[in-house]
Amino acid sequence: MGHLTITTLNTSAHSSLPDYTLALTATSCCMSIVGAIFICLSYCRIAEIRNFPRKLLLYLTFADILTAFGNLMGTIRYLILKDGEKIANNSGTIFYYASTNEVCVIQSFITTFSSMASFFWTVVIAVYMFAAVVHPSQVFKGVRAECVYHLLSWGIPGAITITAVALNVLGEDHSVGTGSWCWIRSDLEPRVWMLVWMVLSGKGWEILCYVTTMSLYCLLKLKIWERRTVYFSSLNSELREEDKNFMWVWFVLYLLRIWGTIRFFVSFSAIINKSEPTRHAHFVLLNMQGVGDSGQAFWNFVIFCLCDKTVRDRITGRWRNRSESTPLLSPVVNTEAPNSVTF
């Protein structure tokens, strides 16, 4: 196997990610998978919420559940290989033996594709919500528009990811830009090639998503304020009152994804300046990224299921009916006639 010299991160002999980092990432992945299932079930089972924004949310959820599954797959792989990691110390330089394999490439393909698709669908939702309020028209929600959304949101990420596979740039990145999962190979030469692919296959689209969604939702909030309306559903007859929860999507995305973006800039600043980032800050950001990058589907479940009155009432009503139909302590009913004698 070849080896890779890393002088910016993990420069001690104890290079493996700690168990609590893996546990946090795996927990966030599992919570997202469960949350995504609930979002899908709510769309299928509750007819009242099935409007066009909710359908777009369903497509976003498909991308997010792939991301959670891929990150969980990468974490399990890392855990299996962790004890077998080989490290050699030579004059203070740590050599990591490259462990890119088929599982790593497949996982990297899944998460690279799904993460970009998630950014695209988040922007699509923001564009539609803005258009639905400011310029209500069937142009943004017809069959043709939906086909365009699918073509952009799945097609562009797919083309970029397939190209990355063809050029053999997906693989083990030794947690330079990720947590316990694979992404862009950290042994690419020249080093700027690694930076270019990280921007092209994720970070560039992520930052563009930040700017676009924040701008659109701020403008949307301004338009709502100008109309002096209290009820969100009065802005467009095809919107539900609970669709105002979409206004929080961009903020949740920021809170979850910003840690990985900060790590990205810190890591490459260290590479350019040939310095080493603060170890404590690095591991704090690493843990936050492990939780955040894997957790979007779960927090969307909180926003669009638990904070949606229609969905919440349906869930609590079904739970209440089930509890009443099978009480824990059922009263004993005497079916015998009074004063009857049993022989």
Please tell me the pTM assigned to this model. 0.82
pLDDT number for residue 100:
57
Query: Kind and range of the H or E element at 97?
Result: strand 93-97
Of 291, 254, 288, nearest in space to 72 by CA: 291
Compute the distance between CA of residue 278 and CA of residue 294 in angstroms, rounded to an integer: 24
- Dihedral angle at the C-alpha atoms of 206, 107, 124, 155, nearest 10 degrees? 110
Neighbours of 146 (CB within 10 A): 16
Instruction: Indicate the pLDDT class of residue 59, thresholds 50, 70 and 90.
Output: very high
Compute the distance between CA of residue 64 and CA of residue 76 in angstroms, rounded to an integer: 18
Mean of pLDDT values over 292-306: 95
Give tens-digit pLDDT for 235-272: 777 888 889 899 888 899 999 999 999 988 887 777 67
pLDDT tops 60 at residue 4 = no
More confident: 211 or 338: 211
Compute the distance between CA of residue 131 and CA of residue 67 in angstroms, rounded to an integer: 28
Sheet holding 93-97, edge to edge: 3-6, 93-97, 87-90
Q: Which region holds residue 39: left if phi is over 0, alpha if psi is between -120 and 50, else beta?
A: alpha
For 187-308, where are the alpha helices, taking DSSP H only?
Answer: 191-198, 204-227, 249-273, 279-292, 296-301
C-beta contacts of 135-138 below 8 A and 24+ residues apart: 136/236, 136/238
CA 277 to chain centre: 26
Please provide the average confidence, as pLDDT, over all residues in the chain.
Answer: 81
Sign of the four-CA dihedral 100, 102, 108, 111: negative
Give tens-digit pLDDT for 129-139: 999 888 877 77
Contact 270, 9 (CB under 8 A): yes
Taken in order of first residue, the domains within the chain and their CATH numbers are: 3-309 (1.20.1070.10)
Contact 298, 25 (CB under 8 A): no
Instruction: Indicate the pLDDT class of residue 84, thresholds 50, 70 and 90.
Output: low
Give the length of the chain.
343
Compute the distance between CA of residue 260 and CA of residue 299 in angstroms, rounded to an integer: 17
